[in-house]
Every structure is written in structure tokens, then in C-alpha cells.
Structure 1
Amino acid sequence: MDRATPVSAMNPTADPIVTLTPSAGEGGSAASTPWWMRPLEATAAALIASITVLLLLGVVSRYVFGRAIVWVDEVVSMQFIWAAMIGATIAVYRNEHLRLSVVVDRLPERLREFVHAFALVAMAAVLVALVGPAFTYAHEEWAILTPALNIPNTFRVAAIAFGIVAMLTLLVMYAGRSVRMRPLILATVLVAAIAGLCWMLSPQLSKLGSINIAIFLVGFVAVCLAAGVPIAFCFAAGAVSYLAFTTQVPLLVVVGRMDEGISSLVLVSVPIFVLLGCVLDATGMGKAIVDFLASLLGHIKAGMSYVLLGSLFIVSGISGSKVSDMATVAPALFPEMKRRGHKGPDMVALLATGAAMADTVPPSIVLIVLGAVAGVSIAGLFQSGFVVAMVLLVSLLLLARWKARHEDMSGTKRAPMRVVGRMLLLAGPALVLPFLIRSLVGEGVATATEVSTVAVIYALLIGHFMYGGLGLRKLYTMLVETAALSGAVLLVLGAASAMAWAITQSGVVQQLSHVLTTLPGGPIAFMAVTIVVFVLLGCLLEGLPAVLLLAPIMFPIAKKLGINDIQYAMVVVCAMNVGMMLPPVGVGFYIACKIGGAKPDEVMGAIWPYLLALLIGVVVIAAVPWISTVAL
């Protein structure tokens, strides 16, 4: 799981499909932010800062003074859902919601304009459908009092209603200002006609049973996905249309499932680790690690490839973000790699697959979310993730060494030991951090949420004293960016939870379970199906949505077949990461091309050997349970 990056920003040749304003990565700044957005940004920044401080206060109180502060979790939970929904609103404004733009990019300009309008209207239609249920849900929660503070739960869940109204307001403002009236009217008529037709046919649709899954939860979602509708809204559209047109279930359920999907305290670590990635970028801690490894290994054949892969492995253990990892490593290494004769497409291919390899290194946000959704021990996932990543690392190292057999090493000298020592001294505090995270969680000293807070404070202190520190303006910007990115991720989680619930209630899961548990070949065949399914879904949906959608369905089947849940989680994440880097659709592939400054068409031809090496590693992990369980 990663920091949510707009697909339009990932593809250097793509035009945005749903752009309300330039995102932070596209030139947005606090100075250009309109006055009416600044209170939202300030509130989001304050909430993220407060969550971090309160979590740290709870850790210190429990482990230093031996007293738990009972109200901390409750206040953090309330602030978290507000931060998520405000962050999702900011992400709409900044165009930072994850979506697929590959199909739209290939359309003629006039048709693309209509699809742009259709995407906006589809997003607005989903939000309009949920406004009433969101307010009803908040009203009904008034009777439920929180255990510690004894206040109505409405104060917490009202965040969902606020976020829906705020996102809808932004969409309407943008559509009225920046979209030509003719395509907007045509798109509105089309969406209204589809909704009206489904409403008139609802008695007949309700009799179709499982076929409705194909129509609404596959067909509608696929059409919205192809049209460039953000993935969170695609999932919400599928769940809303399925329940509204084929069942008697009130849409209040969708809001309730969104609340449940977003509100787990385990997920509080997501924005904290996103913030940690921002700190890593801003302080230069990641670059210090890269410089140390380059001084240690840069003089040997394939040395710079080893440095790139090793840096991604270690840096991933700090930031938990593939985007942050690649953005840290590529600028520091690519110039020297080019000097030694490495080709641009090969470097980007290695960067992309190296980031995929490192995604199981804690603190992987995908592992945290997967543990929360599938009920798997996060401590166990963190312990296993290191070993699994090493298996994939070895497969890429072997390929890199073979491809570097003709590398020109003339003029390359071993760095003096005093230089290596100086680099180690600078990188040492940063190198400690991933092992600190792993040991604290693995040994049960702290939860993933608690250790995320400790890691952020550690990084801020080390960054201040050793790497130049951060100004208040920069820290504020990072807090706002954290809220926006986390909001985009968590909105996907909430919408996917609603869609997964609808799929489960349809009865299809039971049928699927019967088919998969009776496959010839038993667990081996099921593992093969899992790899294929998650490679394809990882390609189409990006990592997090694929996990959220299928984890509640696939993990119980794996358990029936006697497959260890930690091993199965590792296979799922690794297969999904292969899919993310799979051209021509894979989201991660375009991220790497954007960061590496290479044309996707050129990288497409170079990446296949690296993807094959990764896939071989995934098959080994699936075939040998010991790899995933040896560290437990």
C-alpha cells in the first residue's frame, strides 16, 4: 500500500481526468490555495499533529509511568475519522485520489472531454446518493455514548456526512467553472438515464440473483474505472447501485460499512507512516543511506545495481512508501549508473521492480492494512516480511549481476575507508530505524500504531540534529500532505469495505469458496489461482484496493485449505506488487517511469526480465511455507 498518487501524475504523457487544481506534486502551494480551503488544510494538519502527540503520550504513560490513559484511544479514533474525511476532501481538491487513466488517455480529445464530464457526474451522483444516509447515520448514533468520554458517537461519525458534503461542493464548484456546458449536460443526462432505467427495472433485476454481481459490482465498477473515476468512487458506485436497484437494503448500510472500514485503530498508523515518509524525504535521511551503500559497494561490478536494490530495501523499512522510496533513491544513483554505461530503461525497470520487492519490508502500509482487514497478526507480518523481501532481493541481485557482466569498471576506485566510515557515521541513525521498528513490533513491545509514532519522533529529532532539521512551514506542509494522502487511501478502504460486504451478502462468496476448495490440486492449485488473480488485480486496481476487495473473501478459503495465513498474506502482497509493475496498465510502472524520467514505451521492453525474476521469487515463496514462517 502506498501513498495515493493520481494516475495522471504517474504517466508523463497523460492529461488529468478529474483535476480540481494542481496537486502538490504538480505545482500546488500554500500560497496558491484559496482562502476557503485554508481552514480545512489547517484543521487537517492540526488533527494529524494531535493524533501523533496523543499516541506518543499514551505510549510514554503506559511504558514509562505504568499507567494507561483510558481516553486517548477514544479521542484519537474521533480525530482520525475527521482527519480521514477532511483529508479525502483535500485530495479531491488537489487531484490526489488514485484512479486509472490508461483507457482515457487513448481517446480522441472530444470524446475525452465527455468522459471527463461523465467522471465528474458519476462522482457527484455517488455522493448525492450518500448524503441522506450519512446524516441519518449520524442522527442514529446520537443514542450511542462513547465508553470513556460518555459523549454521543455522533460527534465522531458526523465526519462522514461532512466529508461527503464537502467533496460534493468542490465537484459542483469545479464543474460549474471549468467544464463546458454541453458535455456536462450530456453526461448528466446519461447518468440520470442509466439510474432511471435501473430503477424502473429493479423488480426484474431483483430476480436475477448472482447475475447482479456481474452487472453492478463488476460491470458498473469496470465502466467507472475505465472512465477515470477515482477508485474509491468506483467501489462506492458499485455498492450503492447494487443495493439500491436489486435489494431492499437501505443505503445506510454503505455508510456504516465505510465507518467500520475506516475506523479501526490499527489504521491510525497509516497517516503516521505516511508522515514518516515525508520526514525521510525532507531531512535527507534516505540519501544518507544511499551514499553509505554507494561508498561501500560502488566499486564492484554491478555495484550500483546492488546499491539501488539495497537502498530500496532499507529505505522502505523507514518510509513504508514505494513512491517515497523511488523518489529518494533514483536521483542519488541514476547519474553515476549512467556514467558506468547503464541504460535508462534498465535503470527504471530495476527501480520499479526493486520497489515492488521491498514492499513487504516493515513498516509496509499494505501489511498494516492487510492485517487489519484479514485479521492477521501485524507483528507476524512484519517478522515475515523481512525474510520474504530477502528472497525477492536475491532473485533481482542475481539478474542484475548477470546483466552487468559487461559493465565498464575502468576508472572506478574503491572509496577510502575514512570516507566509508564518515558515511556510516552519517547514515547510522537512519539505518537503525527500520530495525527498531521491526524489533519493537516483533517482540510485542509496541503495536504498529505505537511504533509509528515513536519512529516519527525519532526521525524528527535525528533529522533536526544531524540532517538540518525542518522549519515550521515545511512541517505544516508535510502534515497537510499526510492528511490528503491518507484521506485518499482511507476513502478507498471505506468504499471497498462496503463493496466487499455487498459481495459477501450476495452469496457469491460461498459459491466461490466451494469452487476454489474443490479445485484439482488442492492448496497448490489455489495458490496458483491466487497468484494469477492478484497479479491481474494489482495491475488494474493498484495494491491497496485489490487487497481490500479480495482479502475478506480469499483468506477464509485459504484457511479451509490449511494454508498458513502469514504465508498466504506474503503471496498475496508479492503477487499484487508484480501486477502493479506490469505494463501497460500497472500503476507502479508509470510511477517509476515518471520518477526515473523515462518514456514508458522504452521501459516496457526492458522490464520483462526483472518481472520474471520477481515472479519466480513469488512462486518460490508460495511453494516453500518455511520462508514465510521461519521468523515467527
Structure 2
Amino acid sequence: MSEVAMVLIGGLFVLLLLGVPIAFTLGILTAVGIWMADFNPMILAQRLVAGSNISSLLAIPGFILAGDLMSAGGLSRRLVRIASVCFGHLTGGLSMATVAAGTFFGAISGSAPATTAAVGSVMIDEMEKRGYSRGYAAGLATSIGPLGQMIPPSIPMIIWGVLAEQSISKLFLAGVVPGLIAAAGFCVVGYLYARRLGIPKEARASFGQLGAAFRDGLWALLAPVVILGGIYGGIFSPTEAAFVGALYSLIIGLFVYKDLNWRTLGPLFIQSMRTTTVIMFIIVVAYGFAWIIASEQIPTQISSALLSITDNPFLILLLLNIMLLVLGAFMDTVSAMVILSGVLTAVGAQVGLDPIQLGAMVVINFAVGMVTPPLGYSLFVASSISGLSIETVSRHLWPFLLVLIALVGLIAYVPAITLWLPGLVG
């Protein structure tokens, strides 16, 4: 391994351990690597511009804005109400309603923290009132966050599609079945929890209550139909769908539900712009870092080292998933995917892994990282909403983490879970 490669890898670990923000870490190391490799310094500026000049990345601000508008515009609250009247009468029904609401909102926002925030802000207090412990409710709200990264549209799927040069539409479809499996697993956990503690069932909703909830939430239910139907109906691209979703949410929030008003839009747009700026800043500098490590052939060397341990595809996949789960707990999803994309695609090609299956596996591994300490963003959101410490929420996460880890194993070793739907749709 070259001197430049050793400095880049060693510097990455040192700066992260020192607590330097990931974007600055990657920017510093990219500049150092270009200087040590004696490249023209202008390459740094060129790589940064190239990292921002990718049209598919325009979908990210669109979906972030759409998620924020749906939360503030009352769409998420109405989705929660529909889920409650449908599942509340079952054993563990309020848990199931929370999962269902998270699944619906995940089909709109594309973001794990946004899904946790939108559903958890409504359901944590409600579950505590009905006999669930606040820690369990916060743990469940944390765990449904990754559904926002599995159920399309998914912001990390967009980023991986750009990095690996794969079809974003196919990656979206690859996340549907895993998302539904995770949702079903969370419902089973909720059923067992409620049964063990003897939490009473809610009264079955009357036809009138069901009708009222669906009438009130009709426009919210139509949001994923508009967004995903437009993509797979060939009406617009995933990038265009993001802004169609934002416009739809704006119109419904302002003129139908009227939970939005013109005074609240300014702060809401600023909030979305801040989130977008953070993500795009990381992508831009990580793009430059990915270029310098590729020029030093680090991905090839790491994949060769991994393959030298064993040539058994089963063990290679096991090691790969363990590595992704560990890194997901310590690194930001966006920067981790950009840094590792070259390594992961090289290893995937060596073991004959389908690129769409690989993309789904990577994204869902890092989705698990969203709920695990120390850098689980959904965990931070749930802790803030519930008023509980990170440690308290983490203690209630383990049954949901088991579901997610089992799902990761299924995705790695049962290709049909991620490839059946993309193949069916064609």
C-alpha cells in the first residue's frame, strides 16, 4: 500500500476519533492526498464541482422538502389516525398502528430521521397513555425510522444509484419487500410485548369512525400514489417526482387541510435548506475523497485483502455485512457510502452479487446504523421527542434490532427478496 493510501486511511480514523466533523475530515484528507500525490491543486476544485454536478442529486432537496411539508401540513398526523382506527382493536394494535404509519410516511419522505420525527411526535405520548412504557414507545419510534430508507422513495437509494451508476427506480423497488418484512417483524414484536404485559385492546372502530378517518386522510393516502405511481407509470423521473411530491404537499397543506399558512413557510423552507446543505456538503467533499482513494487503488487493494481471507462467498458476505453494520454505527450514511462505494462494488463483482441486491444490502445495513448508538440519527430524534436519555431508549431497542439484523441476513443470502420485484416490473 502506498504512503498516500496509508496517510488517507490512518488520517480518516484519527480525525474521526478526535471528533472532527466528517465533511471537514474528508475535505482535509482530500487536499492532503492531492498534495502528497503531486497532482495539480486545481483537481481539488474540479472534483468538488463534479461532486455537486450530478442531476440525480436534485431529488434529495425535493424529498427533504416534501417530508417537512407533510409533517407540518398535517398529512403525517392523518396517516397516524388512519392506522390507529385500522389496528387499534388488535392485541398490540397501537404498536401496529405506529408501524403502519411509519410505513406510509416512509413511502413519502425517504428519510429515517424524518419518519421517526413525524410518527414519534404523535404516537409516543399516545402509547404511554394506553399502557405502554415510554421507553418501549420511543424504541419503536426509533426502529420505524429505517423504513423511510427502505420503502421507496429513499434518499440513500438515490445516492447509491448515483455512486454505483445503477437504476434508481430498480433500487427503489428492491427496498419494498425488505421494508414490508421489517414492518411485519415489528408488528410481531408489538403483539408479543402487549400480550406479555396484558395491555388492553382498544375498542373496535365503528364504520363511521373508519369512514371519517379515511375521508379526512384521503389526500394524505394519495401522496405515495402520486409520487410512486408517477415514477413507475413513466410520467416523471425520480428527481421530478421529488418536487411533484413537495408541490402536492404544499397545496394540500395550504388549501385543503390548512395546517400550513404563508407565515410558517419561510422557517419551513429554511429548515429544509439547512438539512439539504449538510447532506450536499458531505456528498461533495466525499466525492473528492472517493476520487483520490480510487486513484491510489485503495478499493482494489482492500477487496483483494478481503478475498484473500477466504474464497467462500458465504463467508465473504458475512464479513461484508458485519463490516457494514459496525461502520453504520459509527459513520454518517452518506459519507460512508461515498467512501466505500468503490470497495463494495469491487467485492460485490468478485463474489457475483447482483448490483441491485448489493445496493439494497448496503443501504439497509446503513439504515440499521440509524438506530444504533453512538451515531444513530433516528435514535437522537426519538430521544429528543420522548425526553428520555439515549441509554434508556437504547435498552428498549434490542428486539427491533434483532428483526433488522435478521433482515440483513435474508437480503444477503436470499437474492429474491430484493430482486423479485425489480424483475417483475422489468
TM range (shorter): over 0.9
- Specify the alignment match of 2:143 in structure 1: 353
Q: Which string of whole-angstrom CA distances, capped at 9 and with x for unpartnered residues, describes residues 27-48 of structure 1?
A: xxxxxxxxxxxxxxxxxxxxxx
Corresponding letter in the other structure for 2:371: M
Say which of 6, 18, 23 aligns to 1:227. Answer: 18
Answer yes or no: is the 8 Å Cα contact 1:210–1:507 preserved in 2. no
State the Cα distance separating 1:624 from its structure 2 match: 0.7
Note the aligned Cα RMSD (angstroms).
1.9
Distance 1:211 1:517, change over 3 A: same
State the Cα distance separating 1:411 from its structure 2 match: 7.3
How many residue pairs get matched?
422
Match status 1:340 vs 2:130:
yes
State the Cα distance separating 1:389 from its structure 2 match: 0.5
Match status 1:625 vs 2:424:
no
TM-score normalized by structure 2? 0.94
After superposing on structure 2, the runs of 4+ consecutive aligned residues of structure 1 that deviate more than 6 Å are: none
Answer yes or no: is the 8 Å Cα contact 1:396–1:613 preserved in 2. yes
- Specify the alignment match of 1:532 in structure 2: 322
Say which of 285, 291, 302 aligns to 1:512. Answer: 302
Corresponding letter in the other structure for 2:10: G
Answer yes or no: is the 8 Å Cα contact 1:290–1:311 preserved in 2. yes
- Specify the alignment match of 1:213 in structure 2: 5
Q: Which string of whole-angstrom CA distances, capped at 9 and with x for unpartnered residues, describes residues 377-436 of structure 1?
A: 001011121112112222222222222213444473112211111111111221122133
Pick 1 or 2: higher relative contact order, CA cutoff 8 A, min separation 6.
2
What are structure 1's unaligned runs of at least 5 residues? 1-208
- Aligned mates of 1:331, 1:587 — CA distance in 2: 15
Corresponding letter in the other structure for 1:213: A
Answer yes or no: is the 8 Å Cα contact 2:357–2:419 preserved in 1. yes
Answer yes or no: is the 8 Å Cα contact 2:47–2:287 preserved in 1. yes
Q: Which string of whole-angstrom CA distances, capped at 9 and with x for unpartnered residues, describes residues 327-367 of structure 1?
A: 22112212231123211222111111111234111121111
- Aligned mates of 1:241, 1:260 — CA distance in 2: 19
Q: Which string of whole-angstrom CA distances, capped at 9 and with x for unpartnered residues, describes residues 448-475 of structure 1?
A: 1111121122222222232105333322
- Specify the alignment match of 1:363 in structure 2: 153
- Aligned mates of 1:489, 1:600 — CA distance in 2: 23
- Specify the alignment match of 2:366 in structure 1: 576
State the Cα distance separating 1:293 from its structure 2 match: 0.8
- Aligned mates of 2:139, 2:403 — CA distance in 1: 12
Answer yes or no: is the 8 Å Cα contact 1:224–1:234 preserved in 2. yes
Query: Kindly, what percent of the aligned residue pairs are identical?
Result: 26
Distance 1:270 1:260, change over 3 A: same
Corresponding letter in the other structure for 1:214: M
- Aligned mates of 1:327, 1:400 — CA distance in 2: 19
- Aligned mates of 1:596, 1:584 — CA distance in 2: 18
Say which of 187, 192, 211 aligns to 1:421. Answer: 211
Distance 1:211 1:607, change over 3 A: farther
Aligned ranges for residues 299-318 of structure 1 at < 5 Å? 299-318=89-108
Distance 1:251 1:525, change over 3 A: farther
Report which of the two structures shows the higher radius of gyration computed on alpha carbons: 1
Moved more, 342-351 or 621-630: 342-351
- Specify the alignment match of 2:222 in structure 1: 432
What are structure 2's unaligned runs of at least 5 residues? none
State the Cα distance separating 1:262 from its structure 2 match: 1.3
Q: Which string of whole-angstrom CA distances, capped at 9 and with x for unpartnered residues, describes residues 568-590 of structure 1?
A: 11111111121232224434322
- Specify the alignment match of 1:238 in structure 2: 29
Match status 1:484 vs 2:274:
yes
Answer yes or no: is the 8 Å Cα contact 1:340–1:408 preserved in 2. no
- Specify the alignment match of 2:196 in structure 1: 406
Aligned ranges for residues 19-30 of structure 1 at < 5 Å? none
The alignment partner of 2:196 has SS state of coil
Aligned ranges for residues 446-457 of structure 1 at < 5 Å? 446-457=236-247
- Aligned mates of 2:229, 2:33 — CA distance in 1: 45
Corresponding letter in the other structure for 1:385: G
- Specify the alignment match of 1:498 in structure 2: 288
Corresponding letter in the other structure for 2:2: S
- Aligned mates of 1:438, 1:514 — CA distance in 2: 40
- Aligned mates of 2:140, 2:29 — CA distance in 1: 36
- Aligned mates of 1:608, 1:584 — CA distance in 2: 15
Corresponding letter in the other structure for 1:315: F
TM-score normalized by structure 1? 0.64
Aligned ranges for residues 454-465 of structure 1 at < 5 Å? 454-465=244-255
Corresponding letter in the other structure for 2:224: P
Aligned ranges for residues 115-134 of structure 1 at < 5 Å? none
Distance 1:481 1:410, change over 3 A: closer
Corresponding letter in the other structure for 2:24: F
Match status 1:548 vs 2:345:
no
Q: Which string of whole-angstrom CA distances, capped at 9 and with x for unpartnered residues, describes residues 264-322 of structure 1?
A: 01111111111101211211100000011111111211111101111111101112222
State the Cα distance separating 1:438 from its structure 2 match: 2.1
Answer yes or no: is the 8 Å Cα contact 1:218–1:238 preserved in 2. no
Say which of 75, 85, 97 aligns to 1:295. Answer: 85
